[in-house]
A and B are shown apart, each in its own frame.
Chain A
Amino acid sequence: MAGKRRALSETDAPVTPDLERSAIRAESRRGFLLALPGYAYLVIFFAVPMLIIFVYSFGTRTATGKTLLGEWNLDSYQRLFNHFVLGILWRSLALALATTVISLLVAYPFAYYIATRGPRLRGLLMVLVMVPFWTNFLVRTYAWRLILGRNGPLAAVLGFIGVNEPRLLFTNAGILIGLVYGHLPFMVLPLYASIERLDWSLVEAARDLYANGWKAFRKVTLPLSMAGVVGGTILTFIPAFGAYIEPELLGGAQTMMLGSFIQKQYYAVSDWPFGSALSFVIMALMLVGTIIYFRRGGRTA
């Protein structure tokens, strides 16, 4: 093969359609080889694991906690509809939705404000947003544990106002605060990117046309920044849905989310088929949801 390839560029003969085809194929092959290492890696260490987990979800948990592959069944999938599991699924969904909505409401005016500053100030302000984002996620979430504690600084501040002994830690509210905190930058960035690219002459024209600023916003600015809204919501919802650290650090046994529940299946309970079924299902849900959402919201950059 290699010998033939080298010969191609060295043959000094008039070109024929066959030769042209060989040249095109050789180029194609070069591209394929370049992509091969990465491709092979992802196939072996991503596609195959996904397959294996799919297979495992049909397996059986033996009494000793090992997984028996061979007696295929749908037990794990049936257990998904169990009351307790549905409760956790529901909580994860609700919290993820709440996180997304709150983040959107907080991030949009924020991104809008930054995007409408002068170019140098814009850059600086975005850097200030990104710096906390680049620091360790675990540590920042842990910081909230500090703050929200019964005797923590937030309690002290609230105590001044007269609210005594607030119970925020180990509740849904605590988790929600942690979730919003962690995912806000993921909402701000796409929003900022799409607002910054807006054609402001259109906004100006809309203002002239509608006289009412809010209407101009609703009819012109918002639709034009929709790409950022779609991107931001996807980047916020999916991680929030499968969140693991926030519920572990800020939640309690009563406020378990999917992430921790799945982890328990693998470590504490050792029920791998069930864990695999859960993992696979949320992945499928997220994938389908993303595809549908994309189609409706239009492609983002």
Chain B
Amino acid sequence: MSLAQVQQLVADEASLADDRPASAGRLQRLCRAAARALPATGVSINLSVDDRTPVTVAASHPATVQLEALQFTLGEGPFLDAHATRQPVLVADLRSAGRSRWPIYSPAVQDYGVRALFAFPLGVGGARLGAMAVYREEVGALSDLALDQAMSFAEAATTGLLDAQLAPREPDLVVHDALDGRYEVFQAQGMVMVQLGVPPLVAMARMRARAFTRSQRLSDLADDVLAGRLVFEPDEP
């Protein structure tokens, strides 16, 4: 399927009442159109912060946003692999292929009912942006046709993100959408950096580790840090 055909599917996708304005809304419609076409249970477009932390710009369903939050919390998963290697990550059966690759993420995402997942890097030339994620509740590989479509959707997503850079005011929208609900995590990261006397990446890693032991989402742990309910002490694990 060509880029033009995919863009037509996106244009034809109905907008919903609480869609974001302008290009952000288009990216949401792109995710829904992709979920319809491939088909998939969920599709999301994610950018990376610090080359490591995925943030979701748009998703086909609210539940998909929660799936992405898993990678945000755990710091492992297909997004990071696809983004780092710039190669698609194709996992047709999480039960067999997932565990060794993502020992913590794999069982966690299966708890949400996901059985297969695919991640497609977004970027142009040498520059990397992030990845588009595709989730399915059935085991099975993407057909050649679906794979081709997914690549075209990823290309359309990249184009959509970059077009937003050119329109006035829209770049701020994309950044806002990507970070919405995440600001607290980065603020908490700053606090933990001081509490432990460590650089940003180490602080984030320690927060993730603590969230894991407390079975908490990273964003909830961040709220505890911000409220002063949780203080990181040096020399504590």
A and B are interacting partners: no
